[in-house]
């Protein structure tokens, strides 16, 4: 029988439903694993062990009583420390929020609990989910960055401390660390999951992200959390499909649009370019239809637009604290806030207008295929703990609000994971996840960090 820490969300939930695995045993095994590896990896800010075991015991009783089965009953989930948790500190790994204890759960946390999940604890984030590196270490090689800002969430999933964790993405904060740690990362369409009760970076960009080990698990968590929330002004009133069932309608070989020309390949290292070509060839050989697709002209300003919007909105949120406590901010965040304060208001509004145009144009490109295919990052995780890496391949999609998913696809010469990224039209996560799952199965990889497998 598989070790508990190797189980995916779907496997663990299935074993607990069938009585093969008790929620208290599962939670206990994961807590032991955290005890063993946390000193090396520094993935967690807060863990309430008693609450974890108490919640697991409650789920055990529910299962024993034969109540209605929920999709995540007994599954522990890590939460980036920007998600409000009633009665538990939410520090955003900052000095400003160091003692903040919310009185309510974020909507997405409430929904996870309603799906039967257990809150495993609060995972390390870079300060206020921006770009000053966190103390978390990459389990593949502790001298390489784990990425950010969802660093603790990604490390915890990669090292088998929990099967799933929540992150967030304003630039590249979910899909980049997913790639750097060899796991699956999903950034849904902007507005698909409520941001109510999430410490903001930038209101019009922030998206709740999902970090797991399989594409199917990404669909499970999306199912649990998706839906309109009147408390979130950016929440979308789009119907929520049965993702798992609907994905089966897209289980055949997909039509993939390879973004070989321009931005993504131009910015990649030769190794990443060759790897992505090899992945595309492998998927083609397995039956996928590969076509070359070009980015629209309006994409050219997308990266700059993202930086402008993020920095200005970030400055607006932090302005009341920053006025009196600027010295308590990390240097990169401080620089971003200061830049945001200097950008003219007219430039901010022009950026918002440009964003609308390239969202329209990218959507039209995405609709030509089941999913767009590109490298996940320009290079594998850098051997540098003073950076969180390069978000260049995520930021344009976050800015456009289109959904993306990263799937592990190999190992680099440096021994670090490589990944590919898929993107689709807004609110077409069913097609996106269906295509990504087909590719995941065609690649047939099971990447685990050697020292933590």
Q: Catalytic residues, which ones? A: 80, 149, 173
Beta-strand (E) ranges in 344-432? 371-375, 404-411, 417-423
Q: Which of 244, 316, 341, 443 binds another protein (CB under 8 A)?
A: 341
In this structure, are residues 169 and 400 in contact, taking their beta carbons and an 8 Å threshold?
no
Residue 343 engages another protein in binding (rule: CB under 8 A): yes
Shortest CA distance to 149 belongs to which of 86, 212, 233, 208?
Answer: 208
171 in contact with another protein (CB under 8 A): no
Least distance between another protein and beta carbon 234 (Å):
4
Reported as type and span, the H/E element at residue 60 is helix 49-64
Confirm if 76 and 12 have CB atoms less than 8 A apart.
Answer: no
Q: Which of residues 384-403 bind another protein (CB under 8 A)?
A: 401
* Smallest distance, another protein to C-beta of residue 348, A: 9
User: Strands (DSSP E) along 213-308, which ranges?
Assistant: 255-258, 289-292
The verdict on 359 binding another protein (CB under 8 A) reads yes
Phi-psi region of 197 (alpha: psi -120 to 50; beta: other; left: phi over 0): left
User: Residue 414 and residue 417: Cα distance in Å, rounded?
Assistant: 9
Out of 350, 414, 441, 453, the only residue in the binding site for another protein (CB under 8 A) is 350
Q: Shortest distance, CB of residue 223 to another protein, whole angstroms?
A: 22
Minimum gap (Å) between residue 171 Cβ and another protein: 14
Binding mask 96-135 for another protein (x = CB under 8 A): ----------------------------------------
Cα 287–Cα 293–Cα 296 angle in degrees, nearest 5: 155
Number of residues lying near another protein (CB under 8 A): 31
Say if strands 184-187 and 207-212 run parallel, antiparallel, or are unpaired: antiparallel
Can you tell me which of 14, 252, 262, 344 binds another protein, judged by CB under 8 A?
Answer: 344
Separation CA 273–CA 170 (nearest Å): 25
Least Å distance, CB 419 to another protein, is 26
Pick one of 26, 128, 190, 264: the residue that binds another protein (CB under 8 A). 190
Which residues in this chain contact another protein in the complex, by CB under 8 A? 190-191, 204, 233-234, 300-301, 304-305, 307-308, 335, 338-339, 341-344, 347, 349-357, 359, 401, 426
């Amino acid at each position: 029988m598989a070790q508990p820490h190797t189980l995916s969300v779907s496997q663990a939930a299935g074993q607990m439903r069938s009585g093969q695995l008790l929620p208290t045993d599962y939670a206990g095994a994961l807590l032991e694993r955290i005890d063993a590896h946390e000193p090396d990896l520094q993935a967690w800010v807060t863990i309430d062990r008693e609450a974890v075991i108490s919640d697991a015991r409650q789920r055990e009783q529910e299962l024993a009583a034969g109540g209605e089965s929920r999709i995540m009953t007994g599954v522990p989930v890590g939460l980036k420390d920007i998600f409000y948790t009633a009665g538990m500190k939410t520090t955003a790994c900052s000095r400003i929020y160091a003692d903040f204890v919310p009185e309510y759960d974020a909507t997405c946390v409430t929904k996870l609990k309603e799906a039967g999940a257990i809150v495993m604890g609060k995972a390390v984030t870079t300060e206020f989910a921006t770009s000053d590196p966190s103390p978390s270490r990459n389990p593949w090689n502790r001298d390489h960055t784990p990425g950010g800002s969802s660093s603790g969430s990604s490390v915890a999933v990669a090292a088998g401390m929990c099967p799933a964790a929540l992150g967030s993405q304003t630039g590249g904060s979910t899909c980049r660390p997913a790639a750097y740690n060899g796991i699956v990362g999903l950034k849904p369409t902007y507005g698909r999951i409520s941001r109510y009760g999430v410490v903001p970076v930038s209101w019009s960009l922030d998206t709740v992200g999902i970090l797991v080990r399989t594409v199917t698990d990404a669909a499970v968590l999306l199912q649990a959390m998706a839906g309109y929330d009147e408390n979130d002004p950016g929440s979308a009133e789009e119907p929520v499909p049965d993702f798992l069932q609907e994905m089966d309608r897209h289980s055949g070989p997909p039509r993939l649009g390879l973004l070989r020309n321009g931005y993504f390949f131009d910015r990649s290292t030769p190794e990443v370019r060759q790897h992505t070509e090899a992945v595309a060839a492998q998927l083609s050989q397995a039956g996928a239809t590969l076509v070359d697709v070009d980015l629209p002209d309006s994409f050219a300003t997308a990266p700059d637009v993202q930086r402008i919007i993020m920095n200005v909105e970030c400055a607006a949120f932090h302005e009341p604290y920053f006025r009196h406590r600027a010295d308590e901010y990390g240097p990169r965040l401080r620089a971003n806030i200061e830049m945001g304060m200097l950008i003219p208001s007219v430039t901010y509004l022009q950026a918002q207008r440009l964003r609308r145009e390239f969202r329209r144009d990218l959507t039209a490109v995405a609709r030509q295929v089941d999913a767009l295919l590109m490298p996940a990052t320009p290079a594998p995780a850098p051997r540098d703990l003073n950076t969180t890496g390069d978000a260049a391949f995520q930021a344009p999609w976050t800015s456009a609000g289109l959904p993306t998913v990263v799937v592990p696809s190999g190992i680099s010469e440096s021994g670090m994971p490589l990944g590919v990224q898929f993107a689709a039209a807004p609110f077409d996560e069913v097609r996106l996840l269906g295509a990504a799952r087909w590719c995941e199965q065609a690649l047939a990889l099971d990447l685990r960090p050697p020292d933590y497998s």
